[in-house]
């Protein structure tokens, strides 16, 4: 995801009353990335993954996905699941890590659209998925 898209997504969600943890802004300096990710996931109601070609190429993104997936498996922690997947762009299944492919095959996800007619539905569905 380009920073331009993040510049849109973060304010739109925060304008809808959601408090986000964004690593560039909210991770504590001097703490390992590992500990920052684990703490953020454990103290958050949801983890939103914006799945893109760039996402699957980054080690820390895959680590974050796996930690959120493990939290989501524990039904005592998240009654409605802790992990929300946004398919931001078409990523060929052959390049997806198996754990992500398995998750997409077995769970609901939201597909991002740039179609003006679908934008309102996308934002409404994403808001509902996060707040649920």
Q: Tell me the whole-structure pTM to 2 decimals.
A: 0.84
What domains does the chain contain, in order, with CATH numbers?
Answer: 3-131 (3.40.50.10140)
Axis crossing angle, helix 3-15 with helix 116-131, rounded to the nearest 10: 60
pLDDT at 78: 63
pLDDT at 75: 58
18 CB burial (10 A radius; 0-12, 13-18, 19+): middle
Cα of 100 vs its chain's centroid, Å: 12
pLDDT at 3: 41
- Residues facing residue 85 across a β-bridge: 49
The 3-class secondary structure across 30-60, one letter per residue, is CCCHHHHHHHHHHHCCCEEEEECHHHHHCHH
Q: In sequence order, what E strands does 15-126 have?
A: 47-51, 83-87, 110-111
pLDDT average per 10 residues of sequence, the chain (132 residues): 59 89 91 93 89 92 92 66 88 93 91 88 91 82
pLDDT at 4: 42
């Amino acid at each position: 995801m380009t920073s331009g898209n993040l510049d849109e997504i973060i304010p739109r969600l925060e304008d809808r009353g959601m408090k986000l943890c964004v690593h560039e802004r909210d991770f504590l300096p001097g703490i390992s990335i590992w500990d920052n990710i684990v703490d953020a996931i454990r103290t958050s109601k949801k983890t939103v993954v914006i799945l893109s070609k760039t996402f699957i190429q980054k080690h820390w993104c895959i680590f974050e996905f796996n930690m959120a997936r493990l939290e989501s498996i524990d039904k005592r922690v998240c009654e409605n699941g802790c992990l929300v997947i946004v398919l931001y762009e078409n990523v060929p299944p052959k390049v997806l890590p198996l754990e992500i492919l398995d998750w997409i095959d077995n769970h609901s996800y939201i597909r991002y659209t740039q179609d003006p007619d679908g934008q309102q539905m996308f934002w409404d569905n994403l808001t509902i998925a996060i707040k649920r």
